[in-house]
């Protein structure tokens, strides 16, 4: 491309961006989560180097630190050096914060997080009863920042806001794969930006014991490979979170998922040891011995130690996936079941939980656990953490138990954002009455670490978790998927201001994956970037059946670079829908799409034809490259039939659908996401004689239904 063409395109991009920014200032703001009540007003508050913040009412270290963080990000986006000195008259500042009081010293479930924000052309006023409420309002204020031809402005609005649910969390699994402190801190910053308020740390599992115990040092010394948090480091994380209005509570999974406990203390197990840390994934059989009083003595000491470390009132005991095979094989335990009248191993598990509950309560904590801990004899103030789903959660609520939902928010399963977004802890069709609905406290997104490394974790959490945060914060009727997808990329870029690496790391991994130096490296990076933008990791637990891994397997393959919810594939699918609904393809209706497809078709040959220095790594991309060229060519032919308004032969249709079925099959644990819309193009071409008898929406529905494959390719 000649320099003058580059210059013209650059000018065009700038003019388009400016026009969009001008429009947003008066018509649309990219807020996430959306406030409970939002009214747009004309104009906005100009942000200049004279911008200053005044605080009226309560003023403390947490609030001043939150203001400083906001100003840092404001300056980063505007390049302005603002006035950090508070004005003598706080009421004269560009942003006035009126804070009623400190709120809870330690973030709590009943924290008042509400705020109001009024922005005019002359001033912004943020009012909150507590410091945490002011923090939430500052995040909204920063999201209102936009650019125009006249400089930077804060959109004029009137906002009254409060969260829908008090429990809005993110669970990070640090047990299966170690996640160092910098990972936790930057993700706490991301959580604060989207108004999440609970960090749940999954600290122990079969693969690792990740916290220092001064009473029982063998637990972390022998169960962690040296990767654990000292108590001083954990205090630092808790304080870092407190400064951002976020609770931190631990999970110590028992009586199952406990192999790492038994490496140092085999006497706690139901089966004679010795034990080693598990390196793979799955449900393992080692389990605590509920008949052994030494188990409860150690748990009493350890939980007392942890209760003093973690100030949050809740302590998660896990309690999930106890198959009990080691219990079945232990004759002493079978006799114990009979002696205690426990009937079976489920009764034994309930006995263990009740003993554990007394220990948790003794140390001033409330117990939380996965669905399996539910038992009618447990007190109503325990929290049921549901991985099974809303139905299970509702059943517990009807019996008077509080609960939170994680089913549908397992972000490690690589589902599209829309699926998480439409999942609701209390759906519109709930059978719960008003009092029972209040027992559903909210939910948590969960990032399990089987396929997650410190390098990839950010890209697995963000930006999808921002949409989940909106589900937890905003009113139930905020559920427009198209609108969410319009706002999400903007929030994703803003999250980079906080040091999150969800966009940066995949790019670095891509360059490393290809291998340099060799001629045309950047050229190949561009081509493979396009290919990877059109694939997604396989969903659910399918990767485990396609690729074997342990704790030590590097997460550096193509599937680790690929992201959930391909924006490029969604855009392609949207344009295909436009073509299908059109009365005809005259006047260049399909021109843009044809240009994109032509670029795709040219990609594989350039990849295959390069002498790549790491063929053992890059080779897994080649079958997908072949699928892409095949799928692109089918799309070109289908569009040609539609443009000519001619119907292809039945043989052609059958052959193309068969080829698309093959292209849809996962390779290298990723899926080519453009196959489904290309199937729709083929069906539209084959059945276009029916088009005249249907409305555009009816025709699109017909095509989508007929194009849907009968079986999910495996």
Percent over 90 (pLDDT), the chain: 83
Beta bridge mates, 127? 98, 116
β-bridge partners, 169: 198, 444
Question: What is the rounded average pLDDT of the residues 422-427?
Answer: 96
Residue 610: per-residue pLDDT: 52
Give the lowest-confidence range in 514-518, 629-633, 700-704: 514-518
Confidence at residue 574, expressed as pLDDT on a 0 to 100 scale:
95
> How much is the pLDDT for 12?
40
Q: How far apart are CA 396 and CA 373, in angstroms?
A: 11
Q: Taking 70 as the threshold, does the pLDDT of residue 615 lie above it?
A: no
Q: Which CATH class is domain 167-498?
A: alpha beta
Average pLDDT over residues 169-195: 98
Q: How far is CA 52 from CA 55, 131, 146, in A?
A: 10, 19, 17
- pLDDT average, residue stretch 359-364: 97
609 pLDDT tier (thresholds 50, 70, 90): low
Instruction: Supply the mean pLDDT for the chain.
Output: 91
Task: Please write the tens of the pLDDT for every residue from 263-322.
Answer: 999 999 999 989 999 999 999 999 999 999 999 999 999 999 999 999 999 999 999 989
- All CATH 3.30.379.10 domain ranges of the chain, comma separated, are 24-161
The top-level CATH class assigned to 24-161 is alpha beta
Intervals of CATH 3.20.20.80 along the chain = 167-498
Could you give the count of Cα atoms lying within 13 Å of 501 in the half-sphere of its Cβ?
A: 16
Q: What is the mean pLDDT of residues 686-713?
A: 87
Q: Which residues contact 654 (CB under 8 A, 6 or more apart)?
A: none
The residue among 514 and 386 whose pLDDT is bigger is: 386
Q: What percent of the chain lies above the pLDDT cut of 70? A: 92
Can you give the pLDDT at residue 544? Answer: 94
Confidence of residue 3 (pLDDT cuts 50, 70, 90): very low
Q: What DSSP string describes 497-535?
A: GGT--TTHHHHHHHHHHH-SSSTTHHHHHHHHHHHHHTE
Q: What is the pLDDT of residues 167-178, one digit of tens each?
A: 999 999 999 999
CA nearest to 271, candidates 221, 194, 225, 323:
323
- pLDDT beyond 80 at 649: yes
pTM across the whole model: 0.93
Interhelix angle 345-362/331-340, nearest 10 degrees: 80
Write the CA distances from 417 to 401, 453, 496, 662, integer angstroms: 29, 21, 19, 26
What per-residue confidence (pLDDT) applies to 616?
58
Q: Which residues belong to the active site?
A: 321
Residue 231 contacts by C-beta under 8 Å, 6 or more apart in sequence? 211, 212, 214, 309
Confidence label for 245 from pLDDT (cuts 50, 70 and 90): very high
């Amino acid at each position: 491309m000649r320099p003058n063409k580059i210059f013209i395109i650059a000018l065009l991009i700038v003019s388009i961006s400016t026009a969009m920014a001008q429009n947003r200032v008066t018509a649309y703001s990219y807020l996430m989560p959306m406030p409970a009540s939002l009214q747009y007003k004309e104009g906005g508050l100009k942000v200049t180097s004279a911008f200053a913040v005044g605080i009226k009412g309560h003023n403390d270290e947490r609030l001043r630190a939150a203001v400083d963080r906001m100003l840092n990000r404001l300056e980063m986006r505007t390049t302005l050096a603002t006035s950090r000195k508070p004005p003598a008259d706080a009421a004269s500042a560009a942003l006035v914060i009126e804070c009623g009081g400190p709120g809870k010293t330690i973030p709590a479930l009943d924290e008042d997080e509400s705020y109001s924000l009024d922005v005019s052309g002359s001033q912004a006023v943020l009012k909150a009863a507590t410091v945490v409420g002011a923090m939430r309002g500052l995040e909204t204020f920063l999201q209102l920042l936009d650019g125009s031809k006249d400089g930077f402005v804060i959109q004029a609005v009137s906002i009254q806001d409060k969260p829908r649910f008090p429990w809005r969390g993110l669970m990070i699994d640090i047990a299966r794969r170690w996640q160092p402190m910098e990972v936790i801190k930057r993700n706490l910053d991301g959580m604060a930006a989207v108004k999440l308020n609970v960090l749940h740390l999954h600290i122990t599992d079969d693969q690792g014991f990740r916290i220092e115990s001064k009473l029982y040092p063998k637990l972390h010394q022998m169960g962690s490979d040296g990767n654990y948090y000292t108590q001083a480091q954990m205090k630092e994380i808790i304080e870092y979170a407190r400064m951002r209005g976020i609770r931190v509570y631990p999970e110590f999974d028992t009586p199952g998922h406990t192999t790492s406990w038994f490496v140092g203390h085999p006497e706690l197990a139901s089966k004679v040891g010795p034990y080693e840390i598990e390196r793979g994934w799955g449900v393992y059989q080692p389990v605590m011995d509920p008949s052994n009083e030494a188990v409860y003595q150690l748990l009493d000491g350890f939980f007392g130690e942890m209760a003093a470390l973690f100030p949050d009132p809740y302590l998660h005991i896990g309690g999930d996936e106890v198959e009990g095979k080691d219990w079945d094989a232990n004759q002493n335990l079978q006799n114990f079941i009979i002696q205690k009248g426990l009937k079976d191993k489920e009764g034994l598990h309930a006995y263990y939980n009740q003993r554990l509950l007394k220990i948790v309560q003794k140390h001033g904590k409330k117990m939380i656990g996965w669905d399996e801990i539910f038992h009618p004899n447990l007190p109503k103030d325990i929290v049921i953490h549901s991985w099974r789903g809303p139905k299970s959660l509702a059943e517990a609520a009807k019996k008077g138990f509080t609960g939170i939902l994680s089913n549908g928010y397992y972000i490690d399963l690589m589902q599209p954002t829309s699926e998480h977004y439409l999942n609701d802890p209390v759906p519109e069709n709930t059978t719960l009455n008003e009092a029972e609905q209040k027992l559903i406290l909210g939910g948590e997104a969960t990032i399990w670490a089987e396929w997650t490394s410190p390098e990839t974790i950010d890209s697995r959490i963000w930006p999808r978790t921002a949409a989940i945060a909106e589900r937890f914060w905003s009113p139930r009727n905020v559920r427009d998927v198209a609108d969410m997808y319009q706002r999400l990329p903007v929030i994703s870029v803003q999250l980079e201001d906080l040091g999150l690496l969800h966009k940066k790391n995949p790019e670095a991994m891509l360059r490393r994956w290809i291998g340099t130096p060799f001629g045309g490296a950047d050229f190949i990076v561009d081509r493979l970037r396009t290919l990877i933008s059109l694939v997604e990791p396989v969903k659910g637990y399918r990767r485990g059946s396609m690729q074997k891994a342990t704790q030590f397997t590097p997460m550096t393959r193509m599937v680790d670079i690929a992201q959930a919810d391909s924006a490029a594939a969604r855009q392609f699918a949207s344009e295909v829908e436009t073509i299908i609904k059109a009365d005809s393809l005259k006047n260049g209706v399909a021109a843009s799409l044809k240009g994109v497809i032509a670029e795709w078709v040219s990609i594989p040959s350039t990849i295959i034809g390069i002498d790549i220095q790491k063929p053992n790594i890059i080779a897994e991309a080649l079958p997908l490259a072949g699928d892409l060229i095949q799928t692109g060519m089918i799309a070109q032919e289908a569009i040609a039939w539609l443009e000519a308004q001619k119907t292809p032969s039945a043989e052609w249709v059958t052959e193309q659908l068969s080829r698309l079925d093959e292209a849809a099959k996962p390779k290298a644990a990723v899926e080519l996401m453009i196959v489904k819309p290309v199937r729709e193009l083929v069906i539209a071409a084959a059945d276009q004689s029916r088009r005249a008898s249907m409305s555009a929406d009816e025709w699109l529905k017909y095509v989508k239904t007929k194009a849907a494959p009968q079986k999910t390719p495996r």
